[in-house]
C-alpha cells in the first residue's frame, strides 16, 4: 500500500518543481530568477523550489513569465484617462501616478512594436517601442466634456441628451509624429484618421515600416 502512495507524492513534487522552473523573471542586468512569482505593490517576490524567497523592485525587472504575469514590465509614471461620460462629468482630473504594468506585445514589426496593458479598472493602455529605444513609451490620451449646440451632428465617442459629448484629446498623434519624423511619406489625412484603438496604431505602424 505504501508503494502506491509514494508514486503520486513523487509526481506531485516533480510537477511542482517543473512549474516553478518554468516561471522566471529577467532583470535589467540580464540575470534570471526562477520560481513562483508574486507581485506585492512595487516588488516581485520569487520563491524557489527550495523555499528560498527573494524580493526585487519592479523597476529592476525587464521581462516576466509566470502563471499570473507574462510580458514586459513597465514601472514608472502612468497617465490615466477617463472615457466614461458620467464619471468624466463628475471629475476630469487625471494625475500621473507610479505603478507596475505587465505589457503584452500585440504587434511586432521590423522597426517598431505595439504593446498593451490593463490597469485595475480594466482600462486599456497602449505603448509603442522603437527597436532603437530602451523602453516602451505610453501613448497618451485624454477626454474632456464638450457641450454642442446641435446634438444631432456626428459625435466622436458618445452623446447624451442635452448635447454633451466627450472629446478625445489625441496626444498620441503628436508622440507618434515625433517618433516617426524620419518618414515623410505618411500623409496628413492618415494622421487625422488615427484613433485610440489597436488596429489604428497597427495601421500607422505599417505605413511607417514602408518608409525607406
Q: Within 13 Å of residue 29, how many CA atoms lie on the same side as its CB?
A: 5
At residue 93, the pLDDT reads 55
Instruction: Decide if 143 contacts 166 (C-beta within 8 A).
Output: yes
- Cross-strand pairs, 78: 97
Q: Report all structural domains of the chain as residue ranges with CATH numbers, in order of start.
A: 1-68 (2.30.30.100), 71-212 (no CATH)
Q: pLDDT digit string (tens) for 78-126?
A: 999 888 766 665 555 567 888 999 999 999 999 999 999 998 888 999 9
Query: Dihedral of the CA atoms 65, 71, 75, 76 (nearest 10)?
Result: 180
Three cell numbers written together for 185: 511619406
Number of Cβ within 10 Å of residue 140's Cβ equals: 19
Instruction: Decide if 168 contacts 157 (C-beta within 8 A).
Output: yes
At residue 11, the pLDDT reads 43
Three cell numbers written together for 200: 489604428
Q: pLDDT digit string (tens) for 163-175?
A: 677 788 999 999 9
Question: If you average pLDDT over every residue of the chain, what do you get?
Answer: 82
Contacts of 115 (CB under 8 A, 6+ apart): 71, 72, 103, 104, 105, 106, 126, 127, 128, 129, 136
**pLDDT cut 70: percent of the chain above it:** 77
Amino acid at each position: 500500500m505504501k508503494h502506491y502512495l509514494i508514486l503520486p507524492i513523487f509526481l506531485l513534487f516533480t510537477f511542482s518543481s517543473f512549474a516553478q522552473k518554468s516561471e522566471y523573471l529577467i532583470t535589467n542586468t540580464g540575470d534570471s530568477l526562477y520560481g513562483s512569482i508574486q507581485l506585492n505593490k512595487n516588488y516581485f517576490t520569487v520563491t524557489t523550489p527550495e523555499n528560498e524567497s527573494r524580493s526585487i523592485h519592479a523597476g529592476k525587472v525587464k521581462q516576466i513569465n509566470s502563471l499570473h504575469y507574462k510580458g514586459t514590465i513597465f514601472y514608472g509614471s502612468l497617465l490615466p484617462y477617463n472615457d466614461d461620460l458620467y464619471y468624466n462629468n463628475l471629475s476630469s482630473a487625471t494625475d500621473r501616478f507610479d505603478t507596475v504594468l505587465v505589457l503584452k506585445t500585440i504587434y511586432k514589426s521590423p522597426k517598431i512594436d505595439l504593446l498593451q496593458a490593463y490597469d485595475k479598472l480594466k482600462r486599456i493602455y497602449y505603448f509603442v517601442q522603437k527597436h532603437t529605444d530602451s523602453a516602451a513609451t505610453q501613448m497618451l490620451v485624454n477626454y474632456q466634456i464638450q457641450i454642442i449646440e446641435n446634438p444631432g451632428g456626428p459625435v466622436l465617442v458618445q452623446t447624451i441628451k442635452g448635447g454633451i459629448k466627450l472629446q478625445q484629446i489625441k496626444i498620441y498623434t503628436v508622440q507618434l509624429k515625433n517618433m516617426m519624423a524620419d518618414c515623410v511619406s505618411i500623409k496628413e489625412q492618415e494622421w487625422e484618421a488615427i484613433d485610440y484603438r489597436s488596429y489604428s496604431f497597427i495601421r500607422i505602424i505599417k505605413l511607417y515600416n514602408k518608409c525607406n
